Amino acid sequence: LQKKSREESSGEGSGVEILANRPYSDGPGGSGQYTHKIYHVGSHIPSWFRALLPKAALQVEEESWNAYPYTRTRYTCPFVEKFSIEIETYYRPDAGQQTNVFNLSAAEKRQRILGEYSWLEKEEGPH
């Protein structure tokens, strides 16, 4: 993993820049670790296409609040100001049977999309 990180972080327009990595005490999930990173993704885009894009389109920002068993991660791209993806995760000691782990309202539950994922199938293949 470290070797892959070094390879990905070499050269123009590549790598991960860590802007912050600090504990917090009054944030999402209570107390935890906050990280703010910029992923420079230019080396993963064909050069002809990269030449057409502004520099802001070649990076993705990640902010993460890790207060295990809860984490919140937000991804943004400076080039697309109003777009973001936010992921909330709860790690629970079950196999995903809890029906409302995020305590959603009835209106929020109507908007959600449910899916199942079996770690066993992922690791061992279908049975």
Distance linking the first and last C-alpha atoms of the chain: 30
- Give residue 27's region: left, alpha or beta (phi > 0; psi -120 to 50): beta
pLDDT at 5 over 60: no
Residue-level pLDDT at 11: 45
The fraction of the chain above a pLDDT of 90, given in percent, is 24
* Of 25-29, 40-44, 67-71, the least confident: 40-44
For each of the domains in the chain, give its residue range(s) and CATH number, in order of start. 3-99 (3.30.530.20)
Residue 101 sits at φ, ψ, to 5 deg, of -60, -25
Evaluated on CA atoms 90, 94, 95, 98, the torsion sign reads negative
The fraction of the chain above a pLDDT of 70, given in percent, is 68
Q: How far apart are CA 119 and CA 123, in angstroms?
A: 6
